[in-house]
Amino acid sequence: NAGVTQTPKFQVLKTGQSMTLQCAQDMNHNSMYWYRQDPGMGLRLIYYSASEGTTDKGEVPNGYNVSRLNKREFSLRLESAAPSQTSVYFCASSEALNEQFFGPGTRLTVL
C-alpha cells in the first residue's frame, strides 16, 4: 500500500496563475482532508470531504476549491494564486473517528 500520495512535490507559481494539487489514497477511507502548514504554526484545515460526493469548508477555505473525484482522489485547486498561499499543503485521509494518515506534502511558492 502506498498510503496517501500527493503530486507535485514542489511547485512555483506566479501571482494569478492557477494549479491543481492532486491527492490519492489506497486505504479505502471515506474521509479526506486538505491542510496548509506555515512556519511555526500547526496544520490548518482548508477543506474536507467526509464521504464521496460531499465537501465542506474548513478553517481557511478562501482562495481554494476542491473536488472529490471518487473515493480515492481529492484535489485542491487554486484558481488565482496569491503570495499568501505560499505554504506546504498536506492531504490526509481517515476512516470515521480514527487517526488521519498524511501524505508527504506539496511545497508551493507563489511569487
Can you tell me the distance from the alpha carbon of 28 to that of 108, in angstroms, rounded to the nearest whole number?
A: 27
Binder to other proteins among 11, 19, 43, 72 (CB under 8 A)? 43
Specify whether the CB–CB gap between 84 and 27 falls below 8 A: no
- Tell me the closest approach of the beta carbon of residue 76 to other proteins, in angstroms: 15
Q: Rule CB under 8 A: is residue 96 a binding residue for other proteins?
A: yes
Q: Rule CB under 8 A: is residue 55 a binding residue for other proteins?
A: no
Binder to other proteins among 1, 2, 14, 42 (CB under 8 A)? 42
Which residues form the interface with other proteins (CB under 8 A)? 4, 31, 33, 37, 39-45, 48, 50, 58, 88, 90, 94, 96-105, 107
